[in-house]
Structure 1
Amino acid sequence: MLHSAHDVARFKSDHAVVVIGAGQAGLSVAYQLQQRGIRPVVLEKHRIGYAWDQQRWDSFCLVTPNWQCRLPDFPYDGNQPEGFMPKAEIVAYLQRFARHVGGDVREGVAVQRLTPKGSGYRLITSEGEMEAEHVVVATGGYHAPRRHPLAERLPASVLQLDARAYRNPAALPEGPVLVVGSGQSGSQIAEDLHLSGRTVHLSVGSAPRSPRVYRGRDVVDWLDRMGYYAMPISDHADPRSVRAKTNHYLTGRDGGREIDLRHRATEGMRLHGRLATIATDHIGFADDLAGNLDQADAVYCRIRSSIDSWIQQQGIEAPLEPPYSPCWQPSAMADPGIDLSRDPLAAVIWCTGYRSDFSWIDAPVFDGAGLPAHERGVTQSAGLYFLGLPWLHTWGSGRFCGVSDDADYLARLISLRLQRRDASQERLECTAILGS
Structure 2
Amino acid sequence: MDRAIEQVDVLVVGAGQAGIAMSEHLSSHSVPHLVLERARIAEKWRSGRWDSLVANGPAWHDRFPGRAFDGDPEAFVGKEAVADYFAAYADQISAPIRCGVEVREVRRLDGRPGFRVETSTGVIEAGSVVAATGPFQRPVYPGIVPDGAGIVQMHSADYRNPGQLPEGAVLVVGAGASGAQIAEELLDAGRRVFIAIGPHDRPPRRYRGRDNVWWLGVLNKWDLEAPSTSKHVTFAVSGAHGGRTVDYRRLAERGLTLVGRAAGFSDGVLAIEPGLAENLATGDANYLSVLDEADAWVARNGADLPEDPEARTLLPDPACVTDPILSLDLAAEGITSIVWATGYGLDFGWLKVDAFDAAGKPRHQRGVSSEPGVYFLGLPWLSRRGSSFIWGVWHDAKFIADHIAIQRGYRAYRAPADTAARPAPAAATA
**TM-score, normalising length: structure 2:** 0.91
Q: Which amino acid aligns with 1:111?
A: V
Counterparts of residues 24-423 of structure 1 (less than 5 Å):
24-74=17-67, 76-117=68-109, 118-152=112-146, 155-156=149-150, 158-229=151-222, 231-233=223-225, 239-241=227-229, 244-322=231-309, 323-329=312-318, 330-335=320-325, 337-423=327-413
Decide whether aligned partners of structure 1 residues 331 and 52 sit closer, same or farther in structure 2, where only a CA change above 3 A counts.
Answer: closer
- Mapped contact 1:20–1:26 kept (Cα < 8 A): yes
Decide whether aligned partners of structure 1 residues 14 and 345 sit closer, same or farther in structure 2, where only a CA change above 3 A counts.
Answer: same
Provide the residue aligned with 2:427 in structure 1. none
Note the C-alpha offset of 1:403.
1.4
- Mapped contact 2:171–2:337 kept (Cα < 8 A): yes
- Between stretches 410-419 and 176-185, larger displacement belongs to 410-419
- Mapped contact 1:39–1:104 kept (Cα < 8 A): no
Decide whether aligned partners of structure 1 residues 11 and 340 sit closer, same or farther in structure 2, where only a CA change above 3 A counts.
Answer: farther
Give, in whole Å, the separation in 1 of the partners of 2:324 and 2:179. Answer: 23
Residue deviations 1:149-197 (CA, integer Å, cap 9, x gap) = 31216622x1111001000001111100000111111111101101111
| SS of 2:282 mapped into structure 1 | helix
- Mapped contact 1:70–1:402 kept (Cα < 8 A): no
| SS of 2:184 mapped into structure 1 | helix
Give, in whole Å, the separation in 1 of the partners of 2:210 and 2:295. Answer: 12
| SS of 2:364 mapped into structure 1 | coil
Give, in whole Å, the separation in 1 of the partners of 2:115 and 2:317. Answer: 57
Gaps of 5+ in 2: 423-430
- Mapped contact 2:26–2:32 kept (Cα < 8 A): yes
Give, in whole Å, the separation in 1 of the partners of 2:326 and 2:352. Answer: 49
Give, in whole Å, the separation in 2 of the partners of 1:18 and 1:433. Answer: 36
2:10 is the counterpart of 1:21: no
Q: Which amino acid aligns with 1:112?
A: R
Note the C-alpha offset of 1:79.
2.2
Give, in whole Å, the separation in 1 of the partners of 2:321 and 2:17. Answer: 45
| SS of 1:302 mapped into structure 2 | helix
Residue deviations 1:69-122 (CA, integer Å, cap 9, x gap) = 332522x23221111101111111111111112232111111111111121111
Gaps of 5+ in 1: 1-9
- Mapped contact 1:24–1:71 kept (Cα < 8 A): no
Provide the residue aligned with 1:6 in structure 2. none
Decide whether aligned partners of structure 1 residues 11 and 112 sit closer, same or farther in structure 2, where only a CA change above 3 A counts.
Answer: farther
Note the C-alpha offset of 1:412.
1.5
- Mapped contact 1:301–1:324 kept (Cα < 8 A): no
- Between stretches 99-108 and 257-266, larger displacement belongs to 99-108
- Mapped contact 1:183–1:249 kept (Cα < 8 A): yes
- Mapped contact 2:173–2:195 kept (Cα < 8 A): yes
Q: Which amino acid aligns with 1:73?
A: G
- Mapped contact 2:20–2:86 kept (Cα < 8 A): no
| SS of 2:195 mapped into structure 1 | strand
Give, in whole Å, the separation in 2 of the partners of 1:295 and 1:103. Answer: 44
Q: Which amino acid aligns with 1:210?
A: P
Q: Which amino acid aligns with 2:88?
A: R
- Mapped contact 1:30–1:39 kept (Cα < 8 A): no
Give, in whole Å, the separation in 2 of the partners of 1:319 and 1:89. Answer: 33
Q: Which amino acid aligns with 2:228?
A: R
Provide the residue aligned with 2:425 in structure 1. none
Q: Which amino acid aligns with 2:221?
A: Y
Moved over 3 A (4+): 329-334, 430-435
Give, in whole Å, the separation in 1 of the partners of 2:241 and 2:42. Answer: 23
- Between stretches 276-285 and 330-339, larger displacement belongs to 330-339
Q: Which amino acid aligns with 2:351?
A: I
Residue deviations 1:308-329 (CA, integer Å, cap 9, x gap) = 1111111112222222323334
What is the root-mean-square deviation of aligned Cα atoms in Å?
A: 2.1
Give, in whole Å, the separation in 2 of the partners of 1:301 and 1:19. Answer: 42
Residue deviations 1:46-89 (CA, integer Å, cap 9, x gap) = 11121011111111001111111332522x23221111101111
Give, in whole Å, the separation in 2 of the partners of 1:11 and 1:32. Answer: 29
Counterparts of residues 419-430 of structure 1 (less than 5 Å):
419-424=409-414, 427=415, 430=417
| SS of 2:24 mapped into structure 1 | helix
Provide the residue aligned with 2:428 in structure 1. none
- Mapped contact 2:59–2:69 kept (Cα < 8 A): no
Decide whether aligned partners of structure 1 residues 154 and 182 sit closer, same or farther in structure 2, where only a CA change above 3 A counts.
Answer: farther
Decide whether aligned partners of structure 1 residues 191 and 318 sit closer, same or farther in structure 2, where only a CA change above 3 A counts.
Answer: same
**TM-score, normalising length: structure 1:** 0.90
Q: Which amino acid aligns with 1:85?
A: V
